[in-house]
Amino acid sequence: MLSDLFPFQIQIDPTTVAGVGLWAIALYLGFSPLSDWVIDQLARWFNYAERSLYTSQAEFDRTKPARESQNAFYAALLSVIPFVMVGGGLNYLTDVSLGRSWAISVGMLAAIGTGVYELGRRDGQGEEDEDDDG
């Protein structure tokens, strides 16, 4: 498939892709307040950039809810990119220092650990909200 498009061979190592993905998930979950902030900033920037495309205020106001939800979707998709880049770096460092099999293993441990951490953090936030209400 890719060989039809490019005159050269592109070799993608599946273990590297898996390791980068695991590290990216771990970072995204472990730093979820940061990922929420990145999503908000991207959505805000998309909304600001799109404002210049409209010449009519009435047309801008009429399509505002649909555009804002579409921009929020795009922001959520693009917010993963910094975590994938840092995850690639962490996967590379683990691969160089401990070996390829350890890069996958440590990435998996990090993803599981940050998943448990995020569940506990959200549960703690839910209990704080219930204490404030009651």
CA 30 to CA 27: how far, in whole Å? 5
Q: Which residue has the higher pLDDT, 70 or 1?
A: 70
| pLDDT averaged over every residue in the chain | 87
Residue-wise pLDDT tens digits, 58-76: 877 888 888 888 889 999 9
Q: Which residue has the higher pLDDT, 3 or 13?
A: 13
The predicted pLDDT at position 1 comes to 63
Which H helix or E strand runs over 11?
none
Place of tokens 């009651």: 134
Per the CB < 8 A criterion, the answer to whether 119 and 55 are in contact is: no
Query: Quick one: average pLDDT of 50-63?
Result: 80
Among candidate residues 41, 16, 38, the one with its CA nearest the CA of residue 27: 38
Residue 77 has pLDDT above 60, yes or no: yes
Tell me the whole-structure pTM to 2 decimals: 0.78
Which H helix or E strand runs over 123?
helix 100-133
Q: Which residue has the higher pLDDT, 7 or 94?
A: 94
Residue 22 has pLDDT above 80, yes or no: yes
Residue-wise pLDDT tens digits, 87-124: 999 999 999 998 887 888 998 999 999 999 999 988 88
Task: Give the rounded percent of residues in the chain with a pLDDT score beyond 90.
Answer: 48
CA 32 to CA 29: how far, in whole Å? 5
Give Dmax over CA atoms of the chain in angstroms. Answer: 67
Other beta carbons within 10 angstroms of residue 19's beta carbon come to 27
